[in-house]
Amino acid sequence: MSKPTELGSLKIGSYILLPVSDQPTGDPCRITEYDTSKPGKHGSAKARIVGVGIFDGQKRPHVGPVNMQVHVPLIDKRAAQIISIVGSNVQVMDSETFETIDVDMITYPEGTTGFPDSYGLLKIDDEIIFTVAEGNGPVNALDSALRKGLIQAYSELENVYLTDYKVRIVDQGDKGTDSIVRVLIESTDGNRRWSTVGASGNIIEASWQAIADSLEYALLPH
């Protein structure tokens, strides 16, 4: 069963049937990436989503107007207790009815968790872009979210990527985990290599400084 709704009303964690069609067909997917752009000269605001199949773990992208009608599956969520796991088969017991059910374990593609790790809100000229990305840890997700938004305006960043990432404690002393950390990253565009540094008491903030400076350097004329 499913119900129609507007694409713009969905968010990270929502469910949708993909690929989109006029009829409630397609595979049930959980949205793991969602970003929108403001209305432009050629029509209404656009939404770009990526859904991960509930049953097969496959990524399915979709782009359309935010007022586009899509179908979302009606999902009945219940609590259950795992009784046994044999190979890829999992036996669970419904916590309310005590019914025992055998299900196949879903193996998602490597690097796909189904949960967003980082959000990005960027303003490029007069356009505000909201991006969400997942990655192998919060720093990789931060880099992916920032890059996704900037590439829409600066396509040359598609060739830029990190080659090294290092973290050092600046002032050890007696501060322990309260110490200032320094993040050093090395980047390349295939022709040049450069290093940037960020420092903060928060490792994510320090990483943000280093990544932002790296991408800014890549856009400088040389």
Averages of pLDDT over runs of 10 residues in the chain (222 residues) are 88 88 83 84 82 84 92 76 71 77 61 46 55 66 78 82 86 65 90 92 86 89 72
pLDDT of residue 53: 85
pLDDT of residue 114: 40
pLDDT of residue 197: 94
Rounded to 5°, the CA angle 176-182-183 comes to 125
pLDDT of residue 21: 81
| pTM as predicted | 0.46
Tell me how far apart the alpha carbons of residues 211 and 15 are, in angstroms, rounded to a whole number.
Answer: 32
Cβ neighbours of residue 36 under 8 Å, at least 6 residues apart?
Answer: 8, 45, 46, 47, 48, 66, 129, 130
Residue ranges of domains in the chain, CATH in brackets? 2-73 (2.30.30.30), 78-111 (no CATH), 118-219 (3.30.160.270)
Tell me how far apart the alpha carbons of residues 43 and 45 are, in angstroms, rounded to a whole number.
Answer: 7
